[in-house]
Structures are given as C-alpha cells and as structure tokens.
Amino acid sequence: MGLFDRFKKVKRLETPVDLSIVGVDMHSHFIPGIDDGAKTIEDSVEMITEMQKLGYKKVITTPHIMSDYYRNTPENILGGLSAVQFELEKAGVDIKTGAASEYYLDFDFERKMNEEKLLTFGNNYLLFEISYMNPPDNLFHVIFKMQTMGYKPILAHPERYNFWHTDFAKYEAFVDKGIFLQMNINSLTGYYSMGTKKIAEQMIDKNMISFLGTDCHHIGHIKLIKDVVYEPYLEKLLNSGKLMNQTLL
C-alpha cells in the first residue's frame, strides 16, 4: 500500500445507516444536573426527542457514579429518571426509557460492589469505565469479582483509552475473558481523535464490539450522530450480526 493510498479519504455512504436497527442506546447522560450531561430538564427532553427522531426506540441513560466527583446513588438516578419520564410524557415523546449507571473503577468501587446493589440493565449488564490516564492495577481482579457476583461487565468506550492504542492485544484479552466492549458511535467521526477512530475501526474489523452507545452529553453529540450515519464502518458494524443492543428492548 502506497503512502497516498494509506491516507486517502474513505468514500462515505450515499444512503445513511438506519439507526432503528440499533434500536436501543445503552450509554448516555440525559438526567439533568447530576453529572456532566444534560444541564436542565429541557435539555433532557430535547436530546431524547432527537434520539427518537434518529430511530431509537429506547434509551437507557447511564449517569456517572464516581466517589470523588459525581456521588450519585441509585435513588437519585432513578428519581431523576422519573422526572424525565414525566416531562417526556407531557411532551408526547413516544420512546421507552430506563436508567443504570456508568461506574468509575476507583478506590471505592469494590466496597460499593460488596455493600450495595449496583444499577444494571438487561441481563444484569454492568457498564463501567476507567481512568483515561492509566488502567488500574487491579483491573482484572475487579472485573473477575464482578463476574463471580453475577454481573456481566461492559467496558465503556475502550477505543478512547489511548494507553492501549499501541497494544491491541489488551483489547483482545478483554474479549477472551468474557468482557463485553461498548463503542461510542461518534468515535467513528474522529471526534475524540483519529487514533481513536482507527482503533474503533480495527475492533469492528475483528468483530469485537457487542454494544454501540452514543455517550451523549449534549446536543452537539446528537449533531455528530446525524453525520456519522454516513460512515462505512458504522454500516459494517450494524451488518456484523455481533451487536446486542436489540436484546435490551
């Protein structure tokens, strides 16, 4: 492959991908005022309305739970969901909604796992993230403990962890250990970085992605989704037969 071929622009799709094939978004930040997502209930309604227009039939919103920063609890998350559902019904927005959390694997996570019932969705799926700076030393120990307790761990946006970009075998190790990988749809736009886009495409090539999420925080992310539907790799992922989002309906 020549230098020109390596860097030439991939041809975009002429017909946009139909996101109703995905059906369910299982990673977003739509509950207002509790993390870095929606600021107001009006933001929540606007974004979820746009999700419905894009073809999604259900959204499972997943606010952050972080011991040092976003100290959310199942109670305030589910209470926030009820408020959003009430406003959606008033606005006549016909879409199913649910809530879980995006858990941060910090110093207090194991205690939470031992002492609390964690927020999950579907078949006891547990969405978690790690630091963007470096992986925790006890990462696989904690994941194994999740599994022994009956949780099915889903690693959020693995393509965004730059420290693994030069060691693709680390991603394969997650799949080998029965950990599900959730890709952010906007990673395919180059929004996070071109390195992130490249890793996302590589994982799609190897059929490693089980869940597709928007990780939507604000209306700007919705606008990007309206563009990403022309990306060939999104079409390839949806045609892979690997995605499990529809099982969450």
Tokens of 129: 């993230």
- % of the chain with per-residue pLDDT over 70: 96
Indicate the pTM of the whole model: 0.95
The pLDDT, as a whole number, for residue 6 is 43
Which tokens sit at 126?
């547990």
Ordered by where they begin, the domains of the chain are 19-248 (3.20.20.140)
Residue-averaged pLDDT of the chain: 95
Please give the Cα distance from 10 to 39 (Å, whole number): 36
Burial-class residue 158 by CB neighbours within 10 Å (0-12, 13-18, 19+): buried
Structure tokens at 232: 């060939």
Q: Is the pLDDT of residue 7 over 90?
A: no
Q: How far apart are CA 176 and CA 36, in angstroms?
A: 33
* Inter-residue long-range contacts of 108-111, CB under 8 Å, 24+ positions, other chains counted: 108/67, 109/67, 109/142, 110/142, 110/145
Give me the pLDDT at residue 247, please: 98
Half-sphere exposure of 36 (CA within 13 A, CB side): 8
| Residues facing 237 on adjacent strands | none
Concatenating the DSSP letter of every residue in the chain gives: --HHHHHSPPPPPSS---GGGT-EE--B--STTSSSS-SSHHHHHHHHHHHHHHT-SEEEE--EE-SSS----HHHHHHHHHHHHHHHHHHT---EEEE--EEE--TTHHHHHHHS----BTTTEEEEE--SS---TTHHHHHHHHHHTT-EEEEE-GGG-GGGTT-THHHHHHHHTT-EEEEEGGGGGTSS-HHHHHHHHHHHHTT---EEE--B-SHHHHHHHHHHTT-HHHHHHHTSS---GGGG-
Determine how many CB atoms are found less than 10 A away from the CB of residue 71. Answer: 12
Residue 182 pairs in a beta bridge with 156, 211
Q: Count of CB atoms within 10 A of residue 170's CB?
A: 14
pLDDT tens-digit series, residues 62-97? 999 999 889 999 999 999 999 999 999 999 999 999
Residue 9's pLDDT band (cuts 50, 70, 90): low
209 phi, psi to nearest 5 deg: -95, 120
Tens of pLDDT, residues 168-227: 999 999 999 999 999 999 999 999 999 999 999 999 999 999 999 999 999 999 999 999
